Amino acid sequence: MSNDAKTMTIWQRGLRSDLIACLLIGLIAVICFYAMPSGLSLLTRIIAIMLLVLSIDLVTGYGGVATLGHAALFGAGAYAAGIAAAKFGITDPLLMLLIGTIAGAIAGFLSSLVILRGHGLSQLVLSIAVIMLAREAANKFSTWTGGSDGLSGIAPSPLLGMWRFDLWGKTSYWLAVILLLVVFLILRQIVRSPFGMLVKAIRQDPIRVSAMGAPVYWTLVKMYVISGAVAGLGGALSAVATKVVGLDALSFELSAEAVVMLVLGGTANLFGAMIGTTVFIWFEHLVSSVNPFHWLTIVGVLLVTVVLFAPRGLTGIADQLRDKFGKGGAK
Amino acid sequence: MSLFEVRNLSKKFGGLNVTNDVSISLNPGDRIALIGPNGAGKTTFVNLVTGHIRPDAGVVMIAGQDVTRLSPRARVHAGLVRSFQVTRLFPEMSPEEHVAMAILQRMGKVEKAFGDYRSMPEVMAETAEILGILNLTPIARSRVSGIAYGQQRLLEIGLAMALRPKVLLLDEPAAGVPSSDTVLIERALDRLPPDLAVLMIEHDMDFVFRFAQRVVVLAAGTVIFDGTPAQVAADPQVREAYLGSYAE
Ligand SMILES: Nc1ncnc2c1ncn2[C@@H]1O[C@H](COP(=O)(O)OP(=O)(O)O)[C@@H](O)[C@H]1O
Ligand SMILES: [Mg+2]
């Protein structure tokens, strides 16, 4: 084993640790599957939102772009997949996911052209404008989107012709887990690559990057396209799993909550996005079932606590502990 | 034709002529010092030349190519590289990552979305060489925010080396460095390729005399002297501009 490690390149070692992380995530997914057979649709929802939060991590955590409109990309994927199924009879679930991914990438490209015009606060305002316009458009074209009633009539055919989307959501769940693992592996490659390093550098000092002769604007646009694809996949997954798409997929609330989940988990390491989403939605689910009237207050208190005592999020706490007790881990 | 030529460059901020009809040219291998009192417009000159600020008038040429209207990035590709008076680095990244990124940029690989630079032998070898020249090997993997300012200044020079420019503009490379460490900076500058044209802004006249074959003096945005180091100290206009502070 240690002999192997010596002959492996750093890239291969990175891939190995990613595969180990995938095994762990898969193991957790198996445990969850057996531990709460009635909670599979909640878990699937968590994974769909996780894809949205991961996609925000790419542009905000890594790229430093401030956005409160990212659900536009998620919603684009959800509506594209939903409309393909409900209006064009494209019910193959993988095809629906592909359509959602492409729609998300296109939405990412278009919104980046708007959002990257601004900096700081104006960037934030532009991103809010994007989500509001997107929502308004979906409301307006109700013949296509179902407007405020939502888009129904989405009936995905069995996955690969073999697995029906059952009442318990088992097929959706495993589909979601596999998508998450694939996305995670790809994103780990991207963030460790020269391109990923360039994006991180742009967050820290774009003028320095341009003085080194590297592209700033188009690099961020590209990252936005990748991010849009991931968010669009998340939206399409939610359309496939829930068989409806509502205007809430295109909401400012979802955009803002997703940013909160990212901050809660910790930015720019991908794990934070996944942990933050899980903790937030889980907590929301628990608290709202115990006390449906005050769950927002309780979630608010949780957030203030995290931001005050662990400004770098839950994964930041882990980093601090690791720094404190020596071991410099691979990151 | 010169390698690098600035003709009649002008810039006003408000009513103030910060750069006033400045012309300078450099040939391969030149070592030129640009000096002048604080606020003379030296940094603005660099910003105008590299495209970080738009000039009101004038032309910037690199190897016969008019780059006056190009972006800072395109000028780097044409061979013009600068360093910053106040260090601009990426605080969360290591010296190794800085230099590797500059090398990747030069090789046209900085946008590769796959692979890891640490698994690219040609990138790693050159990175190690540059960090070695600068004595930065021991801290190659530390965060830049945690290393000494003098080391950050050296890394600024390292970035310039990694980009292999034709023309290098150094804005006070030794500013803020304890005098005990300026020798390290001088040594790093000695290792620059001989055919590279270098224009250095610097206040320490001893350093200027050791470094430059030619000195250009800027005062209130205007070139008031362009000649050898031996002549500059004797020039009455230069003496006046400095109110005698550097003249011996
Ligand atoms: N962006 C700017 N806007 C307005 N005035 C500026 C700007 N940059 C520099 N100046 C002014 O231009 C003059 C020259 O500044 P600078 O080029 O930094 O001088 P030096 O580098 O020679 O010390 C100073 O008076 C400074 O206040
Ligand atoms: Mg200056």
Kindly state the helix (H) or strand (E) to which residue A121 belongs, with its residue range: helix A121-140
Contact A194/B106, CB-based, under 8 Å? no
Question: Count of A–B CB contacts within 8 Å?
Answer: 97
B181 within a domain of the structure (yes/no): yes
CATH number of the domain enclosing B61: 3.40.50.300
Kindly state the helix (H) or strand (E) to which residue B198 belongs, with its residue range: strand B197-201
The DSSP symbol for A156 reads: P
Confidence (pLDDT) at A329 = 43
B100 within a domain of the structure (yes/no): no
Q: Helices marked H in chain B — which ranges? A: 42-50, 72-77, 95-107, 121-133, 149-163, 182-190, 205-211, 229-232, 236-241
Q: Is there an atom of ligand 1 within 6 Å of B11 CB?
A: no
The total number of residues shown for chain B amounts to: 248
B99 within a domain of the structure (yes/no): no
The DSSP symbol for B117 reads: G
Kindly state the helix (H) or strand (E) to which residue B170 belongs, with its residue range: strand B167-171
Which chain A residues contact residue B81 at CB under 8 A?
211, 213
Taking CA–CA distances from A194, the nearest residue in chain B reads B110
* CB burial of residue B142 (10 Å; 0-12, 13-18, 19+): middle
Query: pLDDT under 50 in chain B at which residues?
Result: 246-248
B103 within a domain of the structure (yes/no): no
3-class state of residue B3 by DSSP: coil
Total structural domains within chain B: 1
- Report mean pLDDT in 10-residue bins for chain A, 331 residues: 63 91 94 90 95 97 94 97 92 95 98 93 93 92 86 86 82 95 96 96 96 96 98 97 92 92 92 94 85 77 82 85 63 40
B105 within a domain of the structure (yes/no): no
B237 within a domain of the structure (yes/no): yes
Report in angstroms the alpha-carbon separations of A102 from A138, A173, A307, B30, B94: 18, 22, 35, 53, 36
How far, in Å, from the CA of B66 to the mean position of ligand 2?
25
B106 within a domain of the structure (yes/no): no
Nearest Cβ partner for A195 among B90, B112, B159: B112
C-alpha A42/C-alpha A216 separation (Å) is: 39
- Domain containing residue B69: 4-91+164-247
Confidence (pLDDT) at B247 = 42
Confidence (pLDDT) at A286 = 85
Q: Does A109 touch chain B (CB under 8 A)?
A: no
C-alpha A158/C-alpha A170 separation (Å) is: 12
Taking CA–CA distances from A203, the nearest residue in chain B reads B90
B102 within a domain of the structure (yes/no): no
Confidence (pLDDT) at A99 = 97
